[in-house]
């Protein structure tokens, strides 16, 4: 969800000394003035965890939003990983000493407006991509290889991983050691993963192994959810009735910044989408674009929308922008499960488990969950799983405030409609299950009838 251009990397992460809950604008202005490594991020997260544990006020008291920074396309030269870098690896959370790191502080220019930064033309990465695998030939976890690992890995040691990215931006992911991937660092997402370590949602989110730094860039190191599947079918469903932060709305109101890339994307779907004013300025603001996307898809009407599907035959579709009606959504799901009742039932039971966990999750109660997806994965063995992914825009509420997640959003209440969307998603799969069961029954009756007719014919 959030973009490369917007992520704080170790090149431009400008945490001030007073803690990470300071106003986002302040952080944006200071971004790039200090150089920080992944260790800094990890320490911050540890401080938060510690203060939460002691009941002391956490640094998450104030509403927090994803920070806005520019991450240059290149920069930060690689360095050879030293033995000592691995010596303090703890439980996979690699707390490496990077005192000699090549992290640069040049990642950000003076930033006056978030919208300036949002006006990127970065292409979306949707579909099958090849990730460079950073594993060694021995395919062992990195922290077990500390005596033999050197960085950067030589070309001969690199393997390619065919992977699918159904949403998000190009270049956000890299392959990691066997079974894991790297996702570009975002402060929000890191904090969420840290807090999820002790939460009821833990069994439903990708395993998180801490932050990692490569070539001066910081990544979140997490489990590749596709790894245990054979030719997986994958679907990304974006949850909630709202896909942008309230802060984005406020900012667009205070400082409207029409974006040509969003105008172009709108025109590609519907040339009558833009208003006369938007046509004349050839620009659309971010919240306006996001609201339009919500209206033309099922986000507003069902509280979730289909973002993309990759099937085991290698085909990949991300053209669901106008998939809106319940019937159309059911049809897409039915096609995705290939009319398989067992897979549908597996998905349903996993969704029900997720629903239960959400209802008891402290994390969920205390966060506005925006732009997060449910990732559906199944293969020909009928293994089917659903995972909660993407916490880049999931934001902690002020201390003491909670959300119900199933009431209407009105500006200021920060409700996201996640539970309402999940309820509708479950109903959708129930409809799929009913249709599939009816068709299976019909097929078996038809087959029996055929058999009887054959026997009768044979008997004649
Ligand atoms: O799907 P399309 O129509 O291309 O629109 C995209 C998605 O909504 C992105 O969300 P996601 O990455 O979850 O798919 C969003 O990024 P954010 O969710 O970070 O706001 C993009 O905002 P910009 O990156 O500002 O363009 C927006 O242009
Ligand atoms: N842990 C994971 N395992 C497998 N695939 C993943 C994982 N996380 C994300 N993906 C894939 O990458 C896509 C984008 O992920 P997301 O976290 O939404 O990225 P972004 O924050 O760039 O939008 C998802 O639709 C999915 O296809």
DSSP one-letter code for 90: E
Tokens standing for residue 6: 């917007």
pLDDT of residue 444: 80
DSSP β-bridge partners for residue 159: 133
In ligand 1, which atom is closest to the CA atom of 373? 13
What are 291-320's pLDDT values in tens digits?
999 999 999 999 999 999 999 999 999 999
CB atoms within 10 A of CB 268: 10
> Residue 429 and residue 333: Cα distance in Å, rounded?
8
Task: Give this prediction's pTM.
Answer: 0.75
**Which range in 99-103, 115-119, 226-230 is most confidently predicted, on average pLDDT?**
226-230
For residue 233, the CA-to-ligand 2 centroid distance in Å is: 14
What are 391-434's pLDDT values in tens digits?
999 999 999 999 999 999 999 999 999 999 999 999 999 999 99
pLDDT of residue 327: 98
What are 434-448's pLDDT values in tens digits?
999 998 888 888 777
> Residue 310 and residue 326: Cα distance in Å, rounded?
21
Q: Is the pLDDT of residue 132 over 90?
A: no
Q: Could you identify the residue written with the tokens 């950000």?
A: 108
DSSP β-bridge partners for residue 182: 174, 221
Q: What share of the chain is helix, strand, coil (3-state, %, to 5)?
A: 35, 15, 45
> Residue 345 and residue 323: Cα distance in Å, rounded?
23
Our answer on whether the CB atom of 265 is closer than 6 Å to any ligand 1 atom is yes
- The answer to whether the beta carbons of residues 263 and 272 sit under 8 Å apart is no
pLDDT of residue 11: 34
Our answer on whether the CB atom of 167 is closer than 6 Å to any ligand 1 atom is yes
Report ipTM (2 d.p.): 0.98
Q: Is the pLDDT of residue 148 over 50?
A: no
Our answer on whether the CB atom of 293 is closer than 6 Å to any ligand 1 atom is yes
> Residue 26 and residue 37: Cα distance in Å, rounded?
20
């Amino acid at each position: 969800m959030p973009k490369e251009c917007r992520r704080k990397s170790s090149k431009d992460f400008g945490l001030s000394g007073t803690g990470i809950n300071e106003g986002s604008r302040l952080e944006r202005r200071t971004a790039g003035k200090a150089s920080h490594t992944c260790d800094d991020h990890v320490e911050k997260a540890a401080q938060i965890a510690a203060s939460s544990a002691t009941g002391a006020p956490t640094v998450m008291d104030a509403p927090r939003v994803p920070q806005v920074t520019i991450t240059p396309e290149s920069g930060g030269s690689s360095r050879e990983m030293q033995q000592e870098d691995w010596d303090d690896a703890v439980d996979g959370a690699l707390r490496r000493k990077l005192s000699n790191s090549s992290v640069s502080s040049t990642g950000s220019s003076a930033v006056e407006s978030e919208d300036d930064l949002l006006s990127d033309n970065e292409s979306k990465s949707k579909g099958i991509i090849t990730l460079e695998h950073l594993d060694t030939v021995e395919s062992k976890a990195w922290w077990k290889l500390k005596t033999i690992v050197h960085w950067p890995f030589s070309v001969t040691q690199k393997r390619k991983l065919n992977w699918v990215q159904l949403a998000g931006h190009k270049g956000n992911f890299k392959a990691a050691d066997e079974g894991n991937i790297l996702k570009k660092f975002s402060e929000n997402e890191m904090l969420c993963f840290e807090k999820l370590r002790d939460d009821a949602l833990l069994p439903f989110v990708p395993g998180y192994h801490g932050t990692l730094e490569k070539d001066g860039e910081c990544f979140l190191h997490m489990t590749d959810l596709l790894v245990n599947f054979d030719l997986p079918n994958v679907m990304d469903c974006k949850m909630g009735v709202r896909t942008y932060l309230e802060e984005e709305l406020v900012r667009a109101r205070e400082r409207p910044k029409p974006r040509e890339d969003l105008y172009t994307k709108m025109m590609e779907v519907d040339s009558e989408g833009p208003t006369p004013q938007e046509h004349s300025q050839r620009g659309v603001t971010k919240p306006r674009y996001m609201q339009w996307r919500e209206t033309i898809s099922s986000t507003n009407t069902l509280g979730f929308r289909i973002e993309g599907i990759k099937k085991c035959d290698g085909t990949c579709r991300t053209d669901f922008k106008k998939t809106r009606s319940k019937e159309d959504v059911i049809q897409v799901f039915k096609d995705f499960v290939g009319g398989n009742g067992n897979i549908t039932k597996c998905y349903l039971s996993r969704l029900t488990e997720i629903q239960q966990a959400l209802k008891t999750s402290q994390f969920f109660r205390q966060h506005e969950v925006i732009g997060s997806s449910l990732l559906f994965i199944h293969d020909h063995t009928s293994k089917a799983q659903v995972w909660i992914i993407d916490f880049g825009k999931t934001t902690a509420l002020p201390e003491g405030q909670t959300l119900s997640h199933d009431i209407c959003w009105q500006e200021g209440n920060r409700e996201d409609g996640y539970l309402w969307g999940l309820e509708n998603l479950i109903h959708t799969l129930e409809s799929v299950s009913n249709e599939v069961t009816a068709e299976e029954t019909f097929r078996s009756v038809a087959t029996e009838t055929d058999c009887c007719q054959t026997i009768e014919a044979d008997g004649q």
